[in-house]
Amino acid sequence: MIKERLIETEYSEVMQKSYIDYAMSVIISRALPDVRDGLKPVQRRILYDMHELGIKSDKPYRKSARIVGDTMGKYHPHGDSSIYEALVVMEQDFKKGLPLIDGHGNFGSIEGDGAAAMRYTEARLQKVTEEAFLSDLDKDVVDFVPNYDETEKEPEVLPVRVPNLLINGAEGIAVGMATSIPPHNTEEVIDGVIAYMKNPDMSTEQMMQYIPGPDFPTGGIISNKDELKAIYSTGQGKIKIRGKVEVEPLKNGKSQIVVTEIPYTMIGSGIGKFLNDVFALVESHKTNDITDISNQSSKEGIRIVIELKKGADAENVCNLLYKKTKLEDTFGVNMLSVADGRPETMGLVPIIRHHVNFQFDVNTRKYTTLLRKERDRKEIQEGMIKACDVIDLIIEILRGSKTRKEAKDCLVNGNTSEIRFKSEQSKKDAAKLLFTERQADAILDMRLHQLIGLEIAALRKEYEETMKKIQEYSELLENRGKMAKVIIKELQEFKKSYSAPRRTEIDNIAEVVIEEKPIEEEDVAVLLDKFAYGRVIDMATYERNQEAALEENKKVILCKNLDKLAVFTNSGNMHTIKVLDLPMGKFRDKGQPIDNVSNFNTSKEDALYIEPISSLKGKKVLFATKGGMIKIVDGSEFDVAKRTTAATKLADKDEVIFVGVIYPLDSVVMQTKDNFFLRIDGSTVPEKKKAAIGVRGIRLAKNDELTAVYLINEENERTVKVKGKPVVLNRLRIANRDTKGVKK
């Protein structure tokens, strides 16, 4: 029995079908907008739910949590956070050219501040949303489909009167595809639609006379005007946008650069990153002209102030900002949307063509519904007028009937057998009335005041108006040209009410050229503290604070600002650090971990010796390992471009314990864990390449290891303590390399 119910199939086929079904579900039902109304399903459901809840523009605000919960329960069975996020975006005027929701409370900011929790914020529909997105839903203009559990009905698409896909743009990531459509100016888009309706054969170039390019809510400047035609033809490409800056003069010959508009791509965390990038330019000495930066933005608009030092070239600094920061960025365009039930990348004209065809469909259904209603009204009005002309006979029928059914049967079918009449003539006349079902119901429901003369005159006037409307609607449905005029008139009224001036400039701007001024070489002091934080101060500051610098820091290195530091570690590596990569400032300023500006990792390696690479040239560097191996390497070998290089080769489980510069007359004293000392002449240590392993410096006993190395000369006496007793290293006898040494 069980075997009969089993269905055998290829596993790969099941996986393929399941994945395709999942991908199409994400594409069609979640991530991509419909070309007709320009809305994703979640946006459409939020707006429709607010419409159903009656949260109109002239009604009080309602809690966002109420809207999100209702939308999730009725139409969108997904996470509440995704629904609320979609609601928030539709309210933000810095993301949408035409916000669809009127929010009350904290709905986030252009600087990336998130919206307050949905239990705190409130919302209602914008007036434009009611008029352009949700009107006429009661006129059977779009199809309604069952919701996810088939307990409610929801519109398949909203009857949007304007090309929302272009006006507000769209962003979404599906499976294997993504959409990114920039927002456009409302007035220009409507002009483009009207122009297309008058000339359906127009080209992309002709359309761009009306819609020259995107219009971002944040303003800015589009700098590649000539490339827009190709983008609008194919629906794909990259738009270069840059912020707008002004140079304001200050006192004492100084000036400041003020960013008044930002690229659309900088919305959110991009502003904070821009500030950090400008700060990094100063820290890395890409420019020395910037003295301060502050974000003075407010509700009135963007205002990022960059103060320059006296005599600075403001234009060159602006170019540097465009080149090295997100003040100039690219917006990737991929005009992908769902058309006829499948995802399609379309250019400007095809999107407008789909919108216009949708408008004709919506209006055809609208006026078909209105025509049907007017014909129903005409039928009733004709019956009422006819009834008023024979009102005495109708009253006689009603008075002679025992039930409503008998009276209606007489009025509709002329059946007079059950009704008492005053005369045979009345009976004959009643048999000829023959009203329709609707007319009979209207007559039976008629009130006495409708028999007043003025009411009868008003009824005749209404009938004339109904006949005019029937003629008007019939002509609209029969004549596409007249229908087009109605659509155009509505678009012009919408344009008059909701258009706004263009915010984004469009131009052709040559790519910026930066004149990078060479950094002047100067003497500096690098301070490294015990936590491996490094910073740079100028020599004047160092000389004023020399004593404190030496006391408070583990290492003080005097070098040039253009130099690199060589960090030799116990693992045999040499890491390089550009002095310019370390922050330069005041004596008490906080440093930066050297891990951040090099490959050196303080948790895995120990720094044994740090020296400017320039000072190693022409010198010899001695290496000694725990296993007793030693060698000398020429300092010029460490002048490399790599951030990390092998300074010496090591045997297994061995590590470097000493690195230092050795001079011609130096002696080398080696000390082991068991306190054996061996002094050898420095000239007996062979010079090797940095990739070599070296030679044995001291012969170690079992379980003994080299723990310290000292470089001494006859001019300076060196003493160390062993078990509390001093050992003068200069008095040790010079022995041969690779011997045991003496026990102390």
Cα–Cα distance, 436 to 75 (Å, whole number): 42
For position 25, what pLDDT does the model report?
A: 57
Cβ atoms of residues 244 and 307 within 8 Å: no
Cβ atoms of residues 244 and 303 within 8 Å: no
Local structure of 230: helix, strand or coil: helix
Cα–Cα distance, 718 to 669 (Å, whole number): 10
Torsion of CA 648, 652, 653, 654, to 10 degrees: -30
Cα–Cα distance, 432 to 416 (Å, whole number): 10
Dihedral sign from CA coordinates of 105, 107, 108, 109: negative
For position 454, what pLDDT does the model report?
A: 55
Cβ atoms of residues 603 and 594 within 8 Å: no
Q: 127-160: buried (b, 16+ CB within 10 Å) or exposed (e) per residue? A: ebbbbbbbbbbebebbeeeebeeeeeebbebbbb
For position 1, what pLDDT does the model report?
A: 47
Cβ atoms of residues 632 and 684 within 8 Å: no
Please, which residues have CB within 8 angstroms of residue 226's CB and are 6 or more apart in sequence? 508
The pLDDT tens digits of the residues spanning 688-728 come to: 998 898 999 999 998 899 999 999 988 888 899 988 889 99
Query: From the CA atom positions of the chain, what is the Rg in Å?
Result: 43
The pLDDT tens digits of the residues spanning 633-669 come to: 999 999 988 889 999 999 988 999 999 999 988 899 9
For position 513, what pLDDT does the model report?
A: 67
β-partners of residue 427 are none
Find the length of the chain: 744
Cβ atoms of residues 514 and 323 within 8 Å: yes
For position 4, what pLDDT does the model report?
A: 64
Cα–Cα distance, 716 to 705 (Å, whole number): 27
Local structure of 720: helix, strand or coil: strand
Cα–Cα distance, 52 to 37 (Å, whole number): 18
β-partners of residue 576 are 566
C-alpha pair distances (Å), 206 with each of 193, 584, 691:
12, 56, 69
All structural domains of the chain, each given as residue ranges with its CATH number in brackets, are: 39-154 (3.90.199.10), 244-326 (3.30.1360.40), 354-498 (1.10.268.10), 523-743 (2.120.10.90)
Cβ atoms of residues 659 and 623 within 8 Å: yes
Cβ atoms of residues 621 and 646 within 8 Å: no
Cβ atoms of residues 208 and 177 within 8 Å: no
pTM: 0.75
The string of DSSP letters for 109-173 reads: -TTSPPPPPTTT-EEEE-HHHIIIIITTGGGT-S-EEE-TTSSSEEESS---SS-HHHHT-EEEE
Cα–Cα distance, 227 to 239 (Å, whole number): 8
120 carries an active-site annotation = yes
Please identify which of the residues 120, 367, 498, 542 carries the catalytic annotation: 120
Place of tokens 């400008």: 278
Half-sphere exposure of 580 (CA within 13 A, CB side): 15
Cα–Cα distance, 37 to 141 (Å, whole number): 13
Task: Please count the helices (runs of H) and the strands (runs of E) in the chain.
Answer: 22, 35
Q: What is the mean pLDDT of each run of 10 residues along the chain (744 residues)?
A: 65 68 58 90 94 94 96 91 94 92 93 92 95 91 91 93 93 80 95 94 94 94 93 94 92 89 90 89 81 87 90 87 91 92 91 95 93 88 80 80 82 79 77 82 75 71 88 91 93 92 90 69 90 89 90 90 92 92 84 87 88 91 94 92 91 92 92 93 92 91 92 87 89 91 88
The residue type at 569: T
